[in-house]
Structure 1
Amino acid sequence: MDVSLTTWVLTVAVLCALIAVDFFIGRKPHEVSMREAGIWTVVWIVLAGFFCVFLYVAGGAEPAGEFAAGYITEKSLSVDNLFVFVLIMAKFAVPTIYQQRVLMIGVLIALVMRAVFIALGAALISAFSWVFFIFGAFLIWTAWKLVREARAEDQGHEEEAYEENRLLKMVERRFPSTPDYRGTKLFVVENGKRLITPMLIVMLAIGSTDLLFALDSIPAIYGLTDDPYIVFTANAFALMGLRQLYFLIGGLLKRLVHLSYGLSIILGFIGVKLVLHAFHEAGVHVPEISTPMSLAVICGVLIVTTITSLRASRKQAREAEVSRD
């Protein structure tokens, strides 16, 4: 899709305005109700739908289909990322009224990081077609890693799903901090001494986790489209509303017991698609997977995964009730 500089500027301006609106909504610390979370989740999904229609009118079915496939994939990966966010919030005992501020900053960090990775990915792809082999292999390895992590969680090792990285350990070890939260402040001065607050440590945890998530998500969407404009907008719309989605499906996350397996299938599928595309770019005649087929596989896997997850959760609940009786 041929996108002019004016379109890029207008798109970024509109996205910045939407981010400002989202920030304005959550500027005052408060507990997010299910009604508020539900309304804004629908709003962000509808806006993504309108943008998909815009792409269809402006560029036809192909860019619209690529955006839809990319948006659904990135949104699904974002839902899986919420599992880790829940663990981070619990580990650092973030008060409910401050969780939306942490998530908002986390989303902003994720947008910046993904914009950088998208630019790097576009530069690499334009210069070296063999980079598709690396992206494909990385996604297949990530898919296998997701299966291993899901199996570990099934065996009751959920607490191992999040472990502080070296950056956080260094910050906690070298910089004195307050024992409790001081509102949304990152630094305070007490007795003439400058201290960091747990809020800063939590935001570092979210930000460093966002970096790891970007390493998975950017190759995944480049497996569906090599158009930087669609890659960027699909990521942006997928991240918008993530804060509200966190509060909306917080309880449902524990019931999506098969989500990691479904995402592993999707990432493995996209990895194979990238490898086939790399062979095609190298002049080897191999079948390529079309965008409609990719969209059908992604949606099909997510639907099946959701159904089997809810059935498994209900079965576990019934077994738990029987054991209590």
Structure 2
Amino acid sequence: MIVEHSVTEIVLFCVLVVVALWFDLHAHKADKPVSARNAALWTCVWIALALVFAGYIGYSFGAEQVQLFLTGYLLEKSLSVDNLFVIMAIFGSFSIKDAFQHRVLYYGVLGALVLRLIFVAAGSSLVAMFGPYALAGFGIFVLWTAWKMWQSMRSGHKDEIVDYSEHWAVRYTRRFIPVHNQLHGHDFFVKAPDSAGKLIWKATPLFLCLVVVELSDVMFAFDSVPAIIAVTHDPFLVYTSNVFAILGLRSMYFLLAAGKRYLRHLEKSVIAILAYIGIKMMLDVLGVIHISPLISLAVVMGLLAVGVIASLVPEKAAK
């Protein structure tokens, strides 16, 4: 069932999103890690905004429409959980400090809003054309990242990258655009000399990290957008439920990151979850088995619970 939505509803939705994003940016202007308390507060804010919008949908269009919106929202939330762990792995791969992660995710969300609109407009045709190949490649990338995290954890130390000259993203990207081989604060671009000594604009590794985060959202959109379209064919409900779920993803990530800092065994759970995500994607692409979102969510929550419980057990008792 598709309901005609007026310009008023579209404008109301856009204003709500823009105002909330402005407050979010204003609240996190400083380059410092996002605390667990702050992340929890903003998680509640984004959920409350989604529920307020759901109330408006229900008031204006009836119970059936609000049920479709909430179903799409909860489905996207559950499917987005996988993306949280992939984003954590991407930040680890680029050795991005906690202080700069909010900036990357903030602009990552802005890009995701545009990319999801393209996906919703294109519908399932985009998935049918590129989905299997994109998901296969990304599944391999996720498995490789899990392996690198496991190696880093076993080595007992995590080196901070100062010179990115040999980083895989820099080596590949510099074939197409000028890339600076060092981070420059929170800047995505910096003026630096080229081989001839002339000052030119170069992308920093932080910008390359942002691009990879955006690509991860595209990969997960291949799964989530068709799933929500199967629930409702109303483009407005598909897009708005997607957007509200994405807006809260960033705060959920910082809750997870805060837990990883304080729970000593949580990183092992994250690695196991990444391996599971990669294997699940490959099995789906090969047509071996399709694991439902509910089962996937249960596995992720179970592995997280194991990591949390193991971290809460005193080390002497564990021995």
Determine if the TM-score, normalized by the shorter chain, exceeds 0.5: yes
**Distance in 1 between residues matched to 2:208 and 2:87, nearest whole Å:** 13
**Distance in 1 between residues matched to 2:106 and 2:35, nearest whole Å:** 16
Q: Residue 68 and residue 209 in structure 1: after superposition, are their counterparts in 2 closer, same or farther (change >3 A)?
A: same
Correspondence for 2:6: 4
After superposition, give the CA deviation of every residue in 1:87-131 in whole Å (9 maximum; x if it has no partner). Answer: 111111112211100011111111110011111218x6xxxxxx9
Residue 71 (structure 1) aligned with residue 73 (structure 2): yes
After superposition, give the CA deviation of every residue in 1:157-195 in whole Å (9 maximum; x if it has no partner). Answer: 3649xxxxx986531445341323333242223453323
Correspondence for 2:111: 109
**Distance in 1 between residues matched to 2:253 and 2:241, nearest whole Å:** 19
Residue 234 (structure 1) aligned with residue 228 (structure 2): no
Percent of paired sites with the same residue? 30
Paired residues in the alignment total: 277
| Aligned counterpart for 1:225 among listed residues 223, 232, 242 | 232
When the two structures are superposed, what TM-score results if normalisation uses the length of structure 2? 0.70
**Distance in 2 between residues matched to 1:71 and 1:105, nearest whole Å:** 21
Correspondence for 2:96: 94
| Aligned counterpart for 1:308 among listed residues 302, 308, 317 | 302
| Aligned counterpart for 1:214 among listed residues 196, 199, 221 | 221
Using the TM superposition, give the Cα deviation of residue 219 of structure 1 relative to its aligned residue in structure 2, in angstroms: 0.9
Correspondence for 1:29: 31
Which deviates further from its counterpart, 36-45 or 303-312?
303-312
Task: Spell out structure 1 runs of 4+ moving beyond 6 A.
Answer: none
Q: Say which SS state the counterpart of residue 184 (structure 1) adopts.
A: coil
Check whether the contact 1:176–1:196 (CA below 8 A) recurs between aligned residues.
yes
**Distance in 1 between residues matched to 2:67 and 2:147, nearest whole Å:** 38
After superposition, give the CA deviation of every residue in 1:67-104 in whole Å (9 maximum; x if it has no partner). Answer: 11111121122221111111111111112211100011
When the two structures are superposed, what TM-score results if normalisation uses the length of structure 1? 0.69
What residue identity is the alignment partner of 2:248?
G
Correspondence for 2:147: 157
Using the TM superposition, give the Cα deviation of residue 306 of structure 1 relative to its aligned residue in structure 2, in angstroms: 6.0
**Distance in 2 between residues matched to 1:324 and 1:188, nearest whole Å:** 52
Q: Residue 149 and residue 323 in structure 1: after superposition, are their counterparts in 2 closer, same or farther (change >3 A)?
A: farther
**Distance in 1 between residues matched to 2:112 and 2:25, nearest whole Å:** 15
Unaligned runs of 5+ in 2: 151-167, 261-265, 285-291
Q: CA RMSD, aligned part only? A: 4.2
**Distance in 2 between residues matched to 1:243 and 1:318, nearest whole Å:** 26
Residue 178 (structure 1) aligned with residue 168 (structure 2): no
Correspondence for 2:157: none
Q: Say which SS state the counterpart of residue 96 (structure 2) adopts.
A: coil
Correspondence for 1:19: 21
Residue 83 (structure 1) aligned with residue 85 (structure 2): yes
Unaligned runs of 5+ in 1: 125-130, 161-165, 269-296
